[in-house]
Structure 1
Amino acid sequence: MAKKANKQNVDKVVKKVNKEFDRTSSRIEKLIDEALKQFDGVQNQIQEPVRKLLKELDELRDREMKRFSEEYERRLGEFHELQNSVMDRLGISSKEAKKAGKKPAKSAQKKSASTKTTAKKAAKPKSGATADSPASATKATPKKASAAAKKSAAPKPKDKSDLTQIKGIGPATAKKMNEAGITSVDQIANPSAEDQEKLQAFSSVKGFSTFSDEAKKVI
């Protein structure tokens, strides 16, 4: 009897556990269903604005493309009109240029003919001039040659104011000597007492002792 009672108690417990498990599983399923429904709702809420935005972007793109194509066609038409007008003007101007070009060509031909005639006249030599020119040229050349020889033979006068002719005196020293009052080669070759005092200021210059002898060579 005790064993039967224990089995009945166990069966009751198992049944209760099964019932509770069924209840909890059904609740879990309900919660999952509700969560999925909420997720679908949120997804729909997100998708609708995105779809609207994409639709608006497509419409805007279509409008801009249409406007661009219309503007392009309008500008292209204006360009063709301008091109045609320019071509018409160029056609008229080219005809006028051809007409005007014929006149200068004729005048140029006349000028070339006149220049040819003048050149022929200038090319004919005069008889008197041709006969006398060789003799006069032969007479004039010896005189010119002798005059040139005399000029070349005459020695050029030396510039005694150029102190750089003296060996050892450079441009800087010559400038200082000029400032001191030594302005001639003679003042160094044959210096006076006053010149000697002036020259003493340059005694430290290299080769000062030979300046007098070198100046005499220049003279």
Structure 2
Amino acid sequence: MKSLIFTAKSSFARFRCPHTTTSALTFSTIHPVAVRGLIGAVVGIDYKDLYEYSNDIKIGIQVLNKVYKDTQSFNLIPQVTTNKKSPTFISRIQFLRDVKYRIFLSTGEEKLNQIENILKSKEYVFTPYLGCSEHIAKLEYEKTVDIENIEENYTHTLVPKDYIEFDFDNEFEFYVDRIPTKNNKEREYIEYENIVFSPNNIINIKNKTLFKKVGEYNVFFF
């Protein structure tokens, strides 16, 4: 089994939390569902076929930059105006700033080769972006390597909170969030995971058997 590695970066990103409405918050990092959408865009998969195409892709995510969140106010125009005296309404929207991720993909050989060729040539069918069409993503292919089993007690990637081991003797910066990991054909989130990550750093883990060696990285695949 092999894994394809590439990076995605942008000046801004937004991965909207579905439980927020007029004050739209963002998850602290890109999540597996968003990565599947990103892959579908560059390959050119039709909206109705995206679930079937991407459902078997295993995904690992390494956050490379520190998390910065900005909030901006926008005047939005409602699609249905019930109050003619208020043709617009103010909405505060949260963004991630200066983001960069290392993405690990694992799937069938034919599909992996297809994605690899597109990332290498940069001949994207649709423009890649990070959560919002305004936040264009720059993708850089790194390499494709074999996946190996490991016996090491740390990981470089997002990891479920229950699998980590905190070392209270050493100080390090980490983030905790609850992100969607699976969706259905209607693009509704159906599974969430409480995850922990430390930008461009390692995290100690309890269960070594759940992680894989991908090049020089120890990866948890969702």
The TM-score bracket by the shorter chain reads: under 0.3
Structure with bigger RCO (C-alpha 8 Å, 6+ apart):
2
Q: Please, what TM-score do these two structures have when normalized by structure 1? A: 0.12
Q: Please, what TM-score do these two structures have when normalized by structure 2? A: 0.12
Give the number of the structure whose residues are more often strand, by fraction: 2
